[in-house]
Structure 1
Amino acid sequence: MSQPIPAPPSIPFLGHIGTIDAVLPVSSFYLLAKQYGEIYQLNMLGKKLVVVNSQELLHEVSDEKRFRKVVQSGLVEVRNAAGDGLFTAHVPKEQNWFIAHRILMPSFSAMNMRNMFDDMVDVVSQLVLKWERFGPYYKINPAEDFTALTLEAISFCAMSYRMNTFYMNDVHPFARAMSDFLLESGARARRPALVAPFMRGTNAKYQQDIDVLMGFVDEIIAERRTHPTDKKDILNTMLHAKDKETGLGMTEDNIRRNLLTFLIAGHETTSGMLTFTMYYLLKNPEAMRKLREEVDTVVGSRPMTVDDVNKLPYMIAVMRESLRLGPPASARGASPYEDTVIGGGKYALEKDVTIVCSVYNVHRDTKVWGEDAEEFKPERMLDGKFEAMPPDSWQPFGYGMRACIGRPFAWQEAQITLVYLMQRFTFVLADASYDLRLKQTLTIKPHEFYIHALPRADRKGALPLFSTPAVPRAADAAAQPAPDAASLKPLYVLYGSNTGTSEAFAQRIASAAASHGFRASIATLDSAAGHLPTDGPLAVVTASYEGQPADNAAHFVAWLSALDGEPLAGAAHAVFGCGNHDWALTYQRVPTLVDDALAARGAKRILARGEGDAGAGDFFEAFDRWEARLWEALSKEYGTTKSDGAESGIKIETGDVGTGRASILRQPDAALGTVVENRVLTAPGAPVKRHIEFTLPEGMVYRTGDYLAILPVNPERDVHRALAHFGLLPDQEITIRSVGPTTLPTDRLVNVSSLLSGYVELSQPATTRDLRVLGDLAKDGASKAALADLASAYSEKVLAQRLSVLDLLEAHPSISLPFPSFLQLLPSMRVRQYSIASSPLADAARAALAISVLEAPAMSGRREPFLGVASTYLARLRPNDRVQLAVRPSAAAFHPPADPATPMIMVCAGSGLAPMRGFLQERALQKKGGREVGKSVLFFGCRRPGEDYLYEDSDLKEWAELGVVDVRPAFSRESEKSLGCKYVQDRVWHDRADVVSAWEAGAKIFICGSSKMAAGVKEKLVLVVQDQAKLDHDAATKKFEQITVGRFATDVFE
């Protein structure tokens, strides 16, 4: 007996037309699959679509005896140009397809691919020359350049026609017309038919594009007829070959349609594959290292030969895995010949119903690809694993009779491209924080993805990295050293940073460099992979994140780890490491590795590695001490001297007063979100927690468990304090000139209020260096003595009391600190990351936060309270306010299990509930969609019910009644109402029998909250192991570490 196919809620008459994102349909199909599972149905303006998302169902609908391919959606519109070409023909109705298919199949034989090899190398060499010619600082759009490459390859190799796309200043007219044609074809497919006749201008442009495409094809055919050749290319095959079965050749019109088909399909999908491959390699440095190592071993520095193609197994694995996660053709259409059932008789399908085979979702089916299906792991394609996969698990090229005829062409072209790129370049992301965003036309590609190609130093003709300052971010381009600094000695400041702390420390070194006799350049560690300078020292500041390098240091670490011998002789370095002792097993792992590897490979260590523990009270003080030693060591090594006084590398020119306010945005409009809701979650008198929702910028996507990074501004009160202290007017405008790199806006008028609001941290505790500078400038003995006393007990009297530079200036008016020096002392404004408290299944265009608003008594003795910068900013936002924000991925382990049937044990306190709310919202929607959902236990710590028991009577109540979660609160102020359990770890111990039961059922454990809470919970869990296994504490701790691998994730904040 069949069962109903699930469907989302619909709108009368319109059906689900509003459910599918018109700009990025693949995202909607993905989220619906997460909610409804292996199959669901949609009503699109009266037309029924059935979407299949699992390998099991795809395998069934790939049975060509029961199902046929159907041309649907945008492909129907592509027929306006491609007609009955191989890709868009209606089969079996259009017999030209069979004739063309039989004639053209031999053109893609292994022998013909070998014959095309040299032509492919010719085209790839043009791309390589372009990237070498433009140099390492040119920001490359790989999607555009790979599109040019593949279009040139298909036209030259298949038709012996050079488009010369790499020698044009502008896009080739054919390429522009094709891009516009494909975009409009997709739009027409989504547009109601009644609307189309009224869009006269759009229709005229569409026809104009078709005319350009067909005119280009006609030109190629006419050129060949006028100047015939004996070359056995695909064009000659089309013009002269006969079908052995019928004796017929291809008609003139069918030749035109298939030439255009090859130009469209032959470039669009291959360029997408190459772009996805470049993205996944850059986000997975170990895979990039292995691929480069294989190319270096097999091919070396010699030209590639056709025999090399079959000697690169890891490259094949990389390509297969890239196509798994990023299949350019994300879906295809099918239809049953007769009424039938699939899924073991569960789902009934009517004759001729349209089936959308979501290859994108099937390639993420956890039943065949595992719980890590979202992760890029080429190893899953090696050593016979790929061949052992169930049939139709991997289907990026279609299947059966209608499978992609040009697969061998695309495969060889991609291999040649990757070999030559790996031979010649080291690649880095232009924006190290970039995470995949998709753009969809008829295919999908990475959107707004940019890279730098750095010629390899160990290859002939490669360019040195530091011939100019390191690869700059666009926002910092105007902040490089000025010409008058040319006489200073070069200093290269490199950092690896995810949260901004290491970058801020690096910026402090760079900012202070001029006063110590150095001209600083600042860049990410990744930008130096393969190229370390020897004309000046390296100052490296980098962090460990649970033992892993920062996103913008991963390639450098992989490169450095793979070096042999002493290729870095002549370089000199000093390293400062940031870490957190809460991760004791991996504390300082990356900084130690970098420091030791640099020295082992020939670089001179000019200063012992410094350590900063973010979980300790002297974190900033530790950096201050190391920085002071750094300048001493550099002065001794290079003979430089320090400038006297409070001189900074910044000069300020005052402009007219009151000439208007400058609006300075440090991120493009695309990163502006809009507030739609901001409400208080707690009772009056309780520490405030708020629920805030944003509409995300178009194209910005997130996974449940990710972060939302917010770029805040300082509280108005603190900005006014700074203005008053320095006697500045709020409307005053200034121009900043800098002799070193800076994150301040330079060489243009800037409103001083905007400067103090958005570019510097006014509330950051003063450092020991700051105290020394202020002490030198103090004009009375009492202030000097007070500052010396603060420095002697820095942790207790400065850090603990959150004393800022501004606090100290107000407390000691005798200190005459110039405004430029004040700016120089302050760290630059950094983003704050908050766990997203929603699931994209609820609304992919919206993200929620659940935050604590920090407004606490000022421990410095000031009457006004201490205000948290970001939380105060967020608390005061109103609906329709615009906010600079970005999605940042959380750790790979901190996402809900891919299989919703997996139980979860969640432990949190206060606003640590945020990600757990997103997890549970996703599970609730999946259950409502008919999926089997595992039971979750939520241990939640707060003060008392009715006060700060967040979402108590709304979401948590609804989801508990739905059977998604069992909530176990711990009330610190009324523990008698939580079974005597005061803290959340106490409740975990009290309910340990349920914890053990859930664990034995396969549960994963997630913890979110303060490091102290997380440590307390972990200790209780160790005691549970100790109690269950009858072990001593040390043995229980060791066993806990072993059994929780892959099933235990934390998100800890201070």
Structure 2
Amino acid sequence: MTDTSAAPRPPVPRIPTGPRGLPFIGVVREAQKDILGWFLRTAAEHGPVAQYRFGLGRAYLVSHPDGIKHVLQDNVKNYTKDHFSYAMVRRVVGDGLLTSQGDTWMKQRRLAQPAFHRARISAMADQMVRATVELSEQWAEAQRTGEPRLGAVDMMSLTLRIVGEALLGTDVRADTEAVGHSFTVITEQTVERFRALRFIPPILPTAYDRAFRDATRSLRQVVTRVIAERRAHPEDRGDLLSMFMLARDEETGERMDDTHLQDEVLTMLLAGHETTANALSWTWALLAQNPDEERTLHAELDAVLGGRPPTAEDIPQLVYTRRVLDETLRLYPPAYALSRKVVEDDVICGYQIRGGSSVDLSAYMTHRLPEFWPDPERFDPDRFTPEKVAARPRYAYFPFLGGPRQCIGNNFALMEGTLILATLAQHHRPRLVEGHTPRPEPVITLRPSGHLPVRITPR
């Protein structure tokens, strides 16, 4: 008979500590003042898992890479998007690839995946470079006249055009202003409503709620027009919209209806341009503030390209250019925070996690943990040499999330960012307008403040 009395017992999970907050509202007020600073302070003071109240709900901030891996990869089914933050996003983009779950998400992911295969993405490189060369010509004129440009606006317009042409097969340049204004209203209000615990839909007859409804309606009108134009000419153009329009349900044989198509197009239009534009805007600001790293970038561009426009075949040789983007995404990840709903009790990094609560992750915070990122506020693209990457835990760096819900467009965004940076940085050196130091503005994505006013100077 085997004696099991001496068998080791699993360790008892610890109860996380955390900021106390105020009665009824918890940490809401402190987080409203400075959410990024609050993330950093909470992780520094309370370790890999912190517990707190956000409103009346219990929440946990997970900062250690092992805990992030557990949430996004190892036990992903226990951490769902049935969270009130996603409920607000669904008011805008509906049930698209970003917000859907379960079988619906799996079907949508299978439909979309072929559009993001590396070979297909590489074929889009010429479109990306051609659009960027046109912006370079505008920058050359600003360089001649000395007129400042709004760098963030330029990046938004450029990436919106690229997403429209490459993924949707549509020229959306005429809609740039409408999309930009509507998206700004929606992102700012979504964050304001979340932090103020204002979860009722925007249905009141107030100017505030009406602005949200008008912005959503404006975006839907753009998307409806795009779909109608493609319905009139339904041939397969090999882009993402063609795949969605021509796909049939395996069981019923039905095609995707227009409402579902609108959700998917709107998701790709917004998620596909805002994040890359913000990353590029921050890149210009960081290069202007770090001339040594800028010179290293210029030296690589001169050696690899010699003044000609880049191509997809050049990307493997643009090693430092890619590291510049990686380091920018470390310091200012567009998707700087996310939340998940906890289905059942769990243990993360030895700490007890209660079902029914929320888990918060912040790439902005984890990307600054000193044990993985020495001198974390310093801009240093050489953190991303193969040796240094291999020495770090996988989830010490997760600008595109990870696991099965990793961003489907990560390779598209990285190729796009590399080609845009290489095209423009060969000829131009954007410099921050005197007196302007960009601050991070944490709305849905992490934007630089003030639209990044710059003067374009020559190499």
Q: TM-score, normalised by structure 2?
A: 0.90
Which aligned pairs between 1:1013-1032 and structure 2 lie closer than 5 A? none
Q: Does 1:10 align with 2:21?
A: yes
**AA of the residue aligned to 1:190:** R
Q: 3-state DSSP class of the match of 1:18? A: helix
1:1-41 Cα shifts (integer Å, max 9, x gaps): 3333222232222222211125x522322233333333322
Shift of 1:180: 1.2
2:79 to 38, 44, 68: 68
1:601-643 Cα shifts (integer Å, max 9, x gaps): xxxxxxxxxxxxxxxxxxxxxxxxxxxxxxxxxxxxxxxxxxx
Corresponding residue of 2:186: 181
Corresponding residue of 2:366: 362
Which aligned pairs between 1:564-643 and structure 2 lie closer than 5 A? none
Which aligned pairs between 1:896-975 and structure 2 lie closer than 5 A? none
| 8 A contact 1:71–1:88 mirrored in 2 | no
Shift of 1:434: 4.7
Corresponding residue of 1:394: 397
1:1010-1053 Cα shifts (integer Å, max 9, x gaps): xxxxxxxxxxxxxxxxxxxxxxxxxxxxxxxxxxxxxxxxxxxx
Change (3 A) 1:8 1:443: same
2-structure distance, mates of 1:76, 1:87: 12
1:323-350 Cα shifts (integer Å, max 9, x gaps): 111111011223444212122x2x1001
Corresponding residue of 2:128: 120
Change (3 A) 1:194 1:141: closer
Change (3 A) 1:242 1:400: farther
Q: 3-state DSSP class of the match of 2:372? A: helix
Which aligned pairs between 1:529-540 and structure 2 lie closer than 5 A? none
1:415-469 Cα shifts (integer Å, max 9, x gaps): 11101111111232222x654411121011221332211233xxxxxxxxxxxxx
1:876-895 Cα shifts (integer Å, max 9, x gaps): xxxxxxxxxxxxxxxxxxxx
1-structure distance, mates of 2:445, 2:199: 26
1-structure distance, mates of 2:187, 2:84: 12
Shift of 1:361: 0.9
Change (3 A) 1:383 1:5: closer
2-structure distance, mates of 1:59, 1:193: 31
1:561-594 Cα shifts (integer Å, max 9, x gaps): xxxxxxxxxxxxxxxxxxxxxxxxxxxxxxxxxx
Corresponding residue of 1:191: 196
**AA of the residue aligned to 2:358:** T
1:932-986 Cα shifts (integer Å, max 9, x gaps): xxxxxxxxxxxxxxxxxxxxxxxxxxxxxxxxxxxxxxxxxxxxxxxxxxxxxxx
Corresponding residue of 2:353: 349
**AA of the residue aligned to 2:187:** L
2-structure distance, mates of 1:321, 1:245: 45
Shift of 1:379: 0.9
**AA of the residue aligned to 1:153:** I
Change (3 A) 1:69 1:277: farther
| 8 A contact 2:112–2:240 mirrored in 1 | yes
Shift of 1:199: 6.1
Corresponding residue of 1:405: 408
2-structure distance, mates of 1:187, 1:414: 30
Change (3 A) 1:65 1:53: closer
1-structure distance, mates of 2:147, 2:82: 41
Change (3 A) 1:251 1:384: farther
Corresponding residue of 2:427: 424
Q: Does 1:80 align with 2:91?
A: yes
1:677-698 Cα shifts (integer Å, max 9, x gaps): xxxxxxxxxxxxxxxxxxxxxx
2:308 to 264, 289, 302: 302
Corresponding residue of 2:331: 325
2-structure distance, mates of 1:115, 1:177: 31
Q: Does 1:439 align with 2:409?
A: no
Q: Does 1:105 align with 2:133?
A: no
Which aligned pairs between 1:139-178 and structure 2 lie closer than 5 A? 139-164=148-173, 172-178=177-183
1-structure distance, mates of 2:293, 2:372: 22
Which aligned pairs between 1:743-892 and structure 2 lie closer than 5 A? none
Q: 3-state DSSP class of the match of 1:12? A: coil
1:285-342 Cα shifts (integer Å, max 9, x gaps): 1111111110110011122222001111111111111111111101122344421212
1:639-680 Cα shifts (integer Å, max 9, x gaps): xxxxxxxxxxxxxxxxxxxxxxxxxxxxxxxxxxxxxxxxxx
1:843-896 Cα shifts (integer Å, max 9, x gaps): xxxxxxxxxxxxxxxxxxxxxxxxxxxxxxxxxxxxxxxxxxxxxxxxxxxxxx
Shift of 1:200: 2.1
| 8 A contact 1:313–1:382 mirrored in 2 | no
1:270 to 254, 266, 276: 276
**AA of the residue aligned to 2:180:** A
2-structure distance, mates of 1:250, 1:363: 39
| % identity of equivalent residues | 28
2-structure distance, mates of 1:368, 1:194: 37
Q: Does 1:32 align with 2:42?
A: yes
| 8 A contact 2:80–2:342 mirrored in 1 | no
Which aligned pairs between 1:482-493 and structure 2 lie closer than 5 A? none
2-structure distance, mates of 1:293, 1:71: 48
| 8 A contact 2:311–2:419 mirrored in 1 | no
Q: CA RMSD in A?
A: 2.2
2-structure distance, mates of 1:400, 1:114: 24
Change (3 A) 1:111 1:444: same
Shift of 1:353: 1.9
Q: 3-state DSSP class of the match of 2:26? A: coil
Change (3 A) 1:72 1:133: farther
Shift of 1:105: 0.4
2-structure distance, mates of 1:248, 1:225: 16
Q: Could you tell which deviates more after superposition, 299-308 or 66-75?
A: 66-75
1-structure distance, mates of 2:184, 2:134: 22
Q: 3-state DSSP class of the match of 2:396? A: coil
| 8 A contact 1:54–1:361 mirrored in 2 | no
Count of residues in Structure 1 that have an aligned counterpart in Structure 2: 444
User: Which residues of structure 1 form unaligned runs of 5+?
Assistant: 457-1054
Shift of 1:238: 1.0
1:89-116 Cα shifts (integer Å, max 9, x gaps): 2x22xx3322111011010001111221
Shift of 1:52: 1.2
| 8 A contact 1:292–1:422 mirrored in 2 | yes
Shift of 1:43: 1.3
**AA of the residue aligned to 1:160:** G
| 8 A contact 2:62–2:359 mirrored in 1 | yes
More helix per residue: 2
1-structure distance, mates of 2:235, 2:428: 37
2-structure distance, mates of 1:293, 1:96: 48
**AA of the residue aligned to 1:164:** R
2-structure distance, mates of 1:72, 1:31: 24
Which aligned pairs between 1:532-551 and structure 2 lie closer than 5 A? none
Change (3 A) 1:120 1:82: same
Q: 3-state DSSP class of the match of 2:183? A: helix
Shift of 1:275: 1.2
Q: 3-state DSSP class of the match of 2:122? A: helix
1:40-59 Cα shifts (integer Å, max 9, x gaps): 22212201111112223222
2-structure distance, mates of 1:327, 1:358: 9
Q: 3-state DSSP class of the match of 1:43? A: strand
Change (3 A) 1:384 1:192: closer
Q: 3-state DSSP class of the match of 1:4? A: coil
| 8 A contact 2:83–2:341 mirrored in 1 | no
More strand per residue: 1
Corresponding residue of 2:5: none
Which aligned pairs between 1:460-479 and structure 2 lie closer than 5 A? none
2-structure distance, mates of 1:197, 1:210: 12
Q: 3-state DSSP class of the match of 1:369? A: coil
Change (3 A) 1:434 1:387: farther
